[in-house]
Structure 1
Amino acid sequence: MNLAELAIRHRVTTLVVTTVLVVGGIVSFNRLARLEDPEFTIKEALVVTPYPGATASEVEEEVSDKIEQAVQQLGQLKEVESKSDRGLSTVTVRIKDKYDKHSLPQVWDELRRKVGDVQDQMPPGVRSSVVLDDYGDVWGIFLAIYGDEYSYAELKEVAKLLRRELLLVNDVAKIEFWGDMNEAVYVVPNRDRMSQLGIHPAQIIEKLRDKNLVADAGRVEVGSEYIAIAPTGTFTSVQDFEDLLIMGSDSGQQIYLRDVAAVERGYVDPPANVLQYDGHNAVGLGISTVSGGNVVVMGNAIDARMQELAKRIPLGVEFGVISLQSDAVTTAIDGFLVSLVEAVVIVVVVLLLFMGLRSALIIGAVLTITILATFIFMQPWGVALERISLGALVIALGMLVDNAIVVVDGMLVRINSGQDAERAASEVVAQQSLPLLGATAVAIMAFGAIGLSQDSTGEFCRSLFQVVLLSLGLSWLTGMTITPLLCVMFLKQSKSEQGEEPKDAYGGIVFRWYRRLLLVAIRFRWATVMLVLAIFAVSLWGFQFVDNSFFPSSTRPQFMVDVWLPQGTHIDETLRTSEQIEQRLADLEGARHVTTLAGAGGLRFLVTYAPEKTNSAYVQFLVDVDDYTVIDGLIEQIEESIPNEFPDVEVYGRTFLLGPGGG
């Protein structure tokens, strides 16, 4: 007994299972995690070590070299790269591609131990090294908070409010700021006045340190309670600093700090990085999704929570969208659904022309059942709805109907020849099941090289192999069970006039023309072989003109412009230049928004986006456009015009790629 006989004999069970597959597929589709790109592990970590006051060469010799030597003891190491700036060492550690997200935490722990062991060898003045292993986190939502009437400190308070509230939203993992300037109180001494009163700068420093010290002042018993004593006098305002009393060493009298120094409240200068949105100073807010989370659900929940918080947001504070992954995912899924419906319709129409209405509807139904069943098994395998998995389904659509077509066509020929439907189903499946299984396995293994690859491309595209494996495997199973049952239920023998023999299944006009073509090809066999070889040779010759890129450019309506000023440029000068360039970019035809990231690259809002490390001479622009098709022309225009107007800068325009690596 083969699969077809089993499915037909227990047709009620088969129909119930089919119904479960349809309903379960719809439910699973709505519950599947949704992302723009597959979850991809950035196998990089940063080891940051401050060395205040040291030159770049001293940082390299006394800090970076020692950390590099310690890191090179890691057996998992792929490569190490260091950057030594004045007062700061940054070491980038890259791990071999074969280590995935499950094994990387152990690697980072070992890295911390290696870096910790070398701390005793550091010279005095070097601060403790910090290992940043979350460098590869992806922030699916990246917003700019701005308002011309508000200072950075006030904008940061709004950002803190949003962080407290939005961290409670489902599927939100972490929230981080970018471009927020830390506040500082500057004490500018009047040296002449201090000299007259006999006050040394060290006295001011010591007083400031002692005054703002947090210490346990003990406890006191009051009745039946034991109450902690909380000392007052910590600084809470600029006036508190100004009212600080200092003892003059010569006169012995107490003097207010304001009498010998100017106290000002400002921001840490120079800032490490600065964010501007359409020319407005802004604070960036990045939101990441939990592993396996649904970025669309998270985006909708955040939008709803933001609406609830609108009354608590100060009037005049606005939000600019730098990147919103939920919208991109929704667009991609909507596009897939359109492609899916179009594919099913095309299959039904083509089969309708060549196989008849009933056959076309049966194959179309089996195709839909197979796709829905694929959704059911994607979830336990940890496959999300994202760019690669959706593309895999679209790629597989043309192959999913092969098994069903062979079974339906074989049964149709036998039924029209007068054979009983159930017997026809049994014979067709018995004859074709193993060959079709082999063909399906070959089709699956064609994608095996990608899915089983241990490099970054294999990890990024693994869902391609997983979805093809699931969908094609299920297409064979449904082709051997559900398809024969539907044929038995709905395929009928063609009516022939009484007394006539059953119609020849290969007597149609298409088969007659095909028979003639086949006979000609066999008759002139050598000419046929030479023609095929010639076509093959022409295809090989033409292949050299095909662009070489495993991952093409994205259709994202946004592109990057990297601008480099001479190394050592102060970030204030970088900002002055960036403001002029930003205006030129905003005036481009089709440009909607321009985001300025000065001093460093932004948060990793796409898995394929690699942010530049801190550099005061660097600025990046993210330009949003109405139509992605104009991006190449705009990049060419920018790379030609900007250097002519600003001869000291280097300008590079780039599009986003659909995967890791270069294009």
Structure 2
Amino acid sequence: MNLADVSLGNRTTTMVLAMVLFGAGILSFNGLARLEDPEFTIKEALVITPYPGATAKEVEEEVSDKIEQAVQQLSQLKEVESKSDRGLSTVTVRIKDKYDKFALPQVWDELRRKVGDVQGKLPPGAGPSIVNDDYGDVFGVFVAIYGDEYSAAELKEYAKFLRRELLLVPDVSKIELWGERTESIYVEPNRDRMSQLGIHPMQIINGLRDKNIVSDSGRILVGRSFIAVEPTGTFSSVREFEDLLLSGISEAGKGQIYLRDVANVRRGYVDPPVRVLRYDGHAAIGLGISTVSGGNVVTMGAAVEKRARELAPRTPLGIEFGIISLQSDAVTTAIDGFLVSLAEAVIIVIIVLLAFMGLRSGLIIGFVLALTICGTFIFMGPWDVALERISLGALIIALGMLVDNAIVVVDGVLVRTQRGQDATEAAKEVVAQTSMPLLGATAVAIMAFGAIGLSEDATGEFCRSLFRVVFISLGLSWITAVTVTPLLCIMFLKPTKPGSDGQAAGESDAYGGALYTAYRGFLGLAIRFRYITVLMVLGLFAASLWGFQYVDKTFFPDSTRPQFMVDFWLPQGTHIDNTMAVATEVEKYLQELDGATHVTTLGGAGGLRFLLTYSPEKVNSAYLQFLIDVDEYSKIDDLIAQAEHELPGLFADSEVYGRKFILGPGSGGKIQIRFSGPDPEKLRSLASQTMTILHEDGGAKAIRTDWRDQVKVVRPIVAEEEANYAGVTTPDVALTVAMGFEGEQVSIYRERDELLPIIIRAPEPERSQVQSIQNLQIWSPAAQKNIPLRQVVSDFETDFEDEIVQRLNRKSTITVHTDQKSGASSTLLSRIRPKVEGLEMGPEYEIEWWGEFRDSTRAQAGIAASLPFFLLSMVLIVIGLFNALRQPLVIWLCVPLGIIGVTAGLLLTSQPFGFMALLGFMSLSGMLIKNAIVLIDEIEIQKTRSSDVYKAIVESGVSRLRPVAMAALTTALGMIPLVLDAFFVAMAVTVIFGLMVATVLTMIVVPVFYAIFFRVPSPSPSTA
């Protein structure tokens, strides 16, 4: 069926449908969700299990190992990683790529069951385990709430008020606080008074527990009513703690003893804090807001801002807000920038068409292009594609290909009308002749992107909208080319007379211009000396393969976000108070940097995940992260270099690593070397040797391990005989030491919606020095009095131990992280890899390369998994188009020629070959095949009209020169706006240089190969 007959036979319907498509596209565009970057599912969950008092080694063996065993029963498991700290196990569960976001909730339910089943096997005092399956939630709004005149508790109350109000805003999913201080009730006993009055510590503990328990007193039937009984007596204020009766009469017979007689009771904050937030030097609380899945970030952000303005009258005077990250603004800026780039690309394409194809032809193709783009917006929403970096970039990438089909149809009609043929007959003839080849070529171009569309890993999910947009837009471009385009040609392209519109009529002069004449002569020469031509092309191809080794390799580029991070590490084991004291001085330094506008300090852990590509550091009291906003992105490289150079000199024993945010999946150092094996000492030795190699190389920075340094530990050596004689157990010793220093939580105090821990600890003077451990008193059940701790402890040893133990798939694993000082990480990796892999490890030890290398390898493997299917489909389509083998072979032999321009372009522009460049090369292959199909199809048509095959080849090349050249030129020039985008620049360079060079070669090599494979004789010089 000739679709042109249908559209031309129903002209009114066709035009009305075109206008509906145009209008619906504009409406759909306004309703599409907007994001800065496409969503991808973080298929990770955390299993967090406390084990107070246990060493990292004990946590590893007694808790983490059991959790890992339970997790490994999951059939969906990809890998399990654990981090065992003192008193805490954190197990990271990663799920196989094939499970999407719709399947994950069921997987997490199964994980909870497995973790729940293992709770009974954990040691006493461990657990319960918490499964955090929303670890990947993104809080697009992250603000700091601060006010120097307000206490941490008052700031928290206001933050809770905001959370309660803003949760009602449309499209808001979840609101979390970060860095808030938890209030607590401290009971600080006076050990001398306790000894004088004969008060046992357990009397205080039991009294606090019993007084603060909620007990069910049941209900009483009174008449027809069933009335609840609620006795009073629990604590209702901090003052009532002091009135807690401990003993009816003292040993001295001096009457009742209350808690106030032996202890000081006060309200304070849990010490030490776990996470601390500061904004521009002010103590603050972070408030993060996430968007519902599929929600519009921009709409949500605007709604939150509107509601915040409405709540402004209820904001206490002096409370201020600092913007840490506001995704709605970033999305608006990014989308506006891409829309400008899209508009620029469309304008460039139309100008090229007008310049080379004439006013009417250019306007026809420009209208069809706009119609195709609008139609694409209609189908993006139902296919879960938002307006974001990848989808809009895909439209720009596809622009040149979108006009290919229309160019072929318009050019065919234009040539025929210039020869005097009726426009209607010309349109029908062109569509009948080209519709199936164009459909096949379009399908091949779509399938060139197919592998990324089916890739199941995070990178494939991140780039999936690229395939979907290309699929929709190219499919629509073929439909509009064979329906709307011929109708427009009939309406606006009329048979012309000599001199009209700058064109000459007549078949002999249709391709008689200087360009056609020059090309005809050059092509004839190339066919005549066909083998020399092939050798020259092979030489260029070999040179490009050789030169490709000098192209830097990378994964995803850095973001152009005007904000960067400085990770700041103090020696492992540093108290958070000391860490924050240093943070105050670092803040002052960073605020004075040229171009710095705001400095956010995250102490003790990374912040909320305010970007999908941001991976927060887990809890560590020696860790600081500074987020520095700058007025110009271009200053970041210099500021990072300055901070890394100067800060270590200003703060002894500090490790400073500056880094930009990244575009795309990935976390940690660009290069990560993981050693696994049974002996921790051997693993530390291997890591140390690797760090030495990195230092000696000179091109590495931010060199560190995830085990950090060993830390000091004080071990009271219990004298078993004396302890038994005094009736003292090891838990008694542990409780005494805990209450003498950090404190021991013994109960909770309920205050409205808060549960405040009740903590017993020694007064400040008694716990400020480690020597105070010698003076601690412990209750002796045998003596019925407090005795010096040193009577049951023979010695206090100081030792060093691992505070962090990491495992991967149940094997102890230490990871060395590093980044390159300059250039691409692949260059540094190629230098150090042979040296690191040459280390003596033994058969029980393994080495794995993570970081960019692993991410890139996995992304390529995800593409490679489905690539054979699409390659086979592309081959079969080409074979089906010609029902032969030689023509497809000629076409596929031209595909590798794209590497010639790609290598030259990347080297000339100093761009790396990353994942996006790889996608660019795949799309380039589809474009080259499409052009070759159009050319070969024309040769086959010309052969049916002429017995001179040589002439058919040459004239086919001449007749296809303008459509192929226009397609290549519009594609290449349309990509120019992407050259200015950090994410797409390598892809744009790949396509622009690869397509321009390969198109020139294709217009020569395809006819030459055709002449070789079909043994077409060259004419004699006299007849050529």
What TM-score, normalized by structure 2, do the two folds share? 0.63
Aligned to 2:336: 334
1:282 equivalent among 272, 281, 284: 284
Do residues 51 (structure 1) and 51 (structure 2) align? yes
Aligned to 2:471: 469
2: CA distance between counterparts of 1:576 and 1:363? 66
Aligned to 2:105: 105
Aligned to 1:630: 635
With over 3 angstroms needed to count, the CA separation of the structure-2 counterparts of 1:519 and 1:237, relative to structure 1, is: same
User: How far 1:519 moved relative to its partner?
Assistant: 4.1
2:439 equivalent among 437, 440, 446: 437
1:249-276: per-residue Cα shift (whole Å, max 9, x none)? Answer: 5247334433321112111111111111
- The 8 Å contact of residues 347 and 360 in structure 1, kept in 2 or not, is answered as no
- Where 2:558 maps in the other structure, the secondary structure is coil
2: CA distance between counterparts of 1:460 and 1:549? 17
2: CA distance between counterparts of 1:501 and 1:157? 83
- Where 1:373 maps in the other structure, the secondary structure is helix
2: CA distance between counterparts of 1:507 and 1:81? 70
With over 3 angstroms needed to count, the CA separation of the structure-2 counterparts of 1:619 and 1:378, relative to structure 1, is: same
2:649 equivalent among 644, 648, 651: 644
Aligned to 2:8: 8
Aligned to 2:67: 67
- Where 1:397 maps in the other structure, the secondary structure is helix
Do residues 374 (structure 1) and 379 (structure 2) align? no
1:268-313: per-residue Cα shift (whole Å, max 9, x none)? Answer: 1111111111111111111111111100100000010010011111
Aligned to 1:482: 484
- Where 1:401 maps in the other structure, the secondary structure is helix
1:572-592: per-residue Cα shift (whole Å, max 9, x none)? Answer: 121122222222222111111
Aligned to 1:446: 448
2: CA distance between counterparts of 1:254 and 1:11? 103
With over 3 angstroms needed to count, the CA separation of the structure-2 counterparts of 1:505 and 1:60, relative to structure 1, is: same
User: How far 1:531 moved relative to its partner?
Assistant: 3.9
1: CA distance between counterparts of 2:153 and 2:262? 28
Aligned to 2:558: 553
User: How far 1:610 moved relative to its partner?
Assistant: 0.9
User: How far 1:240 moved relative to its partner?
Assistant: 2.6
- The 8 Å contact of residues 5 and 425 in structure 1, kept in 2 or not, is answered as no
User: How far 1:231 moved relative to its partner?
Assistant: 3.5
- The 8 Å contact of residues 599 and 627 in structure 2, kept in 1 or not, is answered as yes
- Where 1:451 maps in the other structure, the secondary structure is helix
Q: Which amino acid aligns with 1:373?
A: G
- The 8 Å contact of residues 77 and 93 in structure 1, kept in 2 or not, is answered as yes
- The 8 Å contact of residues 139 and 603 in structure 1, kept in 2 or not, is answered as yes
Aligned to 1:576: 581
Describe how 1:194-593 pairs up with structure 2 within 5 A.
Answer: 194-219=194-219, 226-250=226-250, 251=253, 253-496=255-498, 502=506, 504-593=509-598
Q: Which amino acid aligns with 1:179?
A: G
User: How far 1:164 moved relative to its partner?
Assistant: 0.8
User: How far 1:326 moved relative to its partner?
Assistant: 0.9
With over 3 angstroms needed to count, the CA separation of the structure-2 counterparts of 1:628 and 1:544, relative to structure 1, is: farther
Describe how 1:126-145 pairs up with structure 2 within 5 A.
Answer: 126-145=126-145
2: CA distance between counterparts of 1:237 and 1:501? 100
Q: Which amino acid aligns with 2:565?
A: M
2: CA distance between counterparts of 1:535 and 1:573? 63
User: How far 1:514 moved relative to its partner?
Assistant: 3.5
Q: Which runs of 5+ in 1 are unaligned?
A: none
- Where 2:602 maps in the other structure, the secondary structure is strand
Q: Which amino acid aligns with 2:321?
A: F
Q: Which amino acid aligns with 1:115?
A: V
1: CA distance between counterparts of 2:358 and 2:239? 89
Q: Which amino acid aligns with 2:332?
A: T
Q: Which amino acid aligns with 1:614?
A: V
Deviates more, 1:168-177 or 1:561-570: 561-570
- Where 1:341 maps in the other structure, the secondary structure is helix
Identity %, equivalent residues:
72
User: How far 1:221 moved relative to its partner?
Assistant: 6.2
2: CA distance between counterparts of 1:372 and 1:81? 46
- Where 1:545 maps in the other structure, the secondary structure is coil
2: CA distance between counterparts of 1:169 and 1:311? 18
1:444-476: per-residue Cα shift (whole Å, max 9, x none)? Answer: 111112121222211221111111111111111
1:349-400: per-residue Cα shift (whole Å, max 9, x none)? Answer: 1111111111111111111111111111111111111222122112111211
Deviates more, 1:640-649 or 1:213-222: 213-222
Q: Which amino acid aligns with 1:615?
A: N
1: CA distance between counterparts of 2:149 and 2:566? 29
Q: Which amino acid aligns with 1:125?
A: G
1:596-623: per-residue Cα shift (whole Å, max 9, x none)? Answer: 1111111111111111111111111111
2: CA distance between counterparts of 1:232 and 1:32? 58
Describe how 1:122-161 pairs up with structure 2 within 5 A.
Answer: 122-161=122-161
Deviates more, 1:518-527 or 1:433-442: 518-527
Q: Which amino acid aligns with 2:552?
A: D
User: How far 1:658 moved relative to its partner?
Assistant: 1.0
User: How far 1:57 moved relative to its partner?
Assistant: 1.8
Deviates more, 1:571-580 or 1:472-481: 571-580
1: CA distance between counterparts of 2:655 and 2:525? 64
User: How far 1:414 moved relative to its partner?
Assistant: 0.8
Aligned residues: 662
User: How far 1:545 moved relative to its partner?
Assistant: 3.1
- The 8 Å contact of residues 338 and 389 in structure 2, kept in 1 or not, is answered as no
- The 8 Å contact of residues 573 and 621 in structure 2, kept in 1 or not, is answered as yes
- The 8 Å contact of residues 408 and 483 in structure 1, kept in 2 or not, is answered as yes
User: How far 1:242 moved relative to its partner?
Assistant: 2.6
With over 3 angstroms needed to count, the CA separation of the structure-2 counterparts of 1:526 and 1:633, relative to structure 1, is: farther
Aligned to 2:835: none
User: How far 1:38 moved relative to its partner?
Assistant: 1.8
User: How far 1:215 moved relative to its partner?
Assistant: 2.5
Aligned to 2:87: 87
User: How far 1:225 moved relative to its partner?
Assistant: 5.1
Aligned to 2:837: none
- The 8 Å contact of residues 559 and 653 in structure 1, kept in 2 or not, is answered as yes
Aligned to 1:39: 39
User: How far 1:177 moved relative to its partner?
Assistant: 1.0
With over 3 angstroms needed to count, the CA separation of the structure-2 counterparts of 1:571 and 1:28, relative to structure 1, is: same
Q: Which amino acid aligns with 1:154?
A: E
- The 8 Å contact of residues 22 and 372 in structure 1, kept in 2 or not, is answered as yes
User: How far 1:55 moved relative to its partner?
Assistant: 1.9
Name the Cα RMSD after superposition: 2.0
2: CA distance between counterparts of 1:622 and 1:203? 49
Deviates more, 1:618-627 or 1:644-653: 644-653
- The 8 Å contact of residues 571 and 599 in structure 1, kept in 2 or not, is answered as yes
- The 8 Å contact of residues 198 and 249 in structure 1, kept in 2 or not, is answered as no
- Where 2:549 maps in the other structure, the secondary structure is helix
2: CA distance between counterparts of 1:310 and 1:235? 36
Deviates more, 1:185-194 or 1:508-517: 508-517
Q: Which runs of 5+ in 2 are unaligned?
A: 667-850, 853-1024
2: CA distance between counterparts of 1:184 and 1:587? 37
Q: Which amino acid aligns with 2:148?
A: D
- The 8 Å contact of residues 199 and 248 in structure 1, kept in 2 or not, is answered as no
Aligned to 1:167: 167
User: How far 1:501 moved relative to its partner?
Assistant: 5.9
2: CA distance between counterparts of 1:501 and 1:120? 91
Q: Which amino acid aligns with 2:244?
A: L
User: How far 1:222 moved relative to its partner?
Assistant: 6.6
